Amino acid sequence: MFRLVSRLSLGTITAVAPAAAFAQAKLTPALVIADAAPSLKLVMLVLVAAIIAAIAITVRKVSQGPHLAGGSTYLSALRLGGPLVGLLGASYTGLLMAIGLANINPSSIEVIWPGVAEMMFLVALGLIAGVVAVVCNGIVEARIDRAVLRS
């Protein structure tokens, strides 16, 4: 009797295990950030902080009136540096993903997709930082041009 119950429970476990594997949480941007390595979380945080700083500098410079001081160099540097930092983080993620795959010898390609999502997220953050910096730099340069033309 005990063997029959243990076989039934073993059969139930083996039947339920694949369903449990497919019932795991779907990948979202929040999960991508939560599952990232600490160094890559730092890269993501730096990119988000750079975006916020670019917007704050632009608002400050536009609201200053005729006194335009500081911040243009930061925006110019972020235009080029933001996408490069995003690509650097993505390449580091790819390196970590390749090392991990070599160590575990996966039987399914599904283990790759969280790493690919993280790489794409880092590239997107870098590009967003670059685009925001280009737009903000254009706004500041237009403000400087207007101030110079008034003089």
* Residue bearing the bigger pLDDT, 143 or 127: 127
Q: Confidence class of residue 25 from pLDDT cuts 50, 70 and 90?
A: low
- Token duo for residue 140: 């500041």
Q: What is residue 68's predicted lDDT score, i.e. its pLDDT?
A: 65
Give the Cα separation of 56 and 73 in Å (integer): 14
Residues 6+ apart with CB under 8 A from 65: none
The predicted-structure confidence for 54-111, as pLDDT tens digits, reads as follows 999 888 888 876 666 666 788 888 888 889 999 998 999 888 888 888 888 777 777 7
Mean pLDDT for the stretch of residues 12-16: 47
Distance (Å, rounded) from C-alpha 49 to C-alpha 36?
18
Full-model pTM: 0.73
Torsion, CA 38, CA 44, CA 46, CA 51, rounded to 10: -170
pLDDT of amino acid 3: 53
User: Residues 117-127: what's their mean pLDDT?
Assistant: 90
5 pLDDT higher than 70: no
Say whether pLDDT at 18 is over 50. no
Share of the chain above pLDDT 90, in %: 16
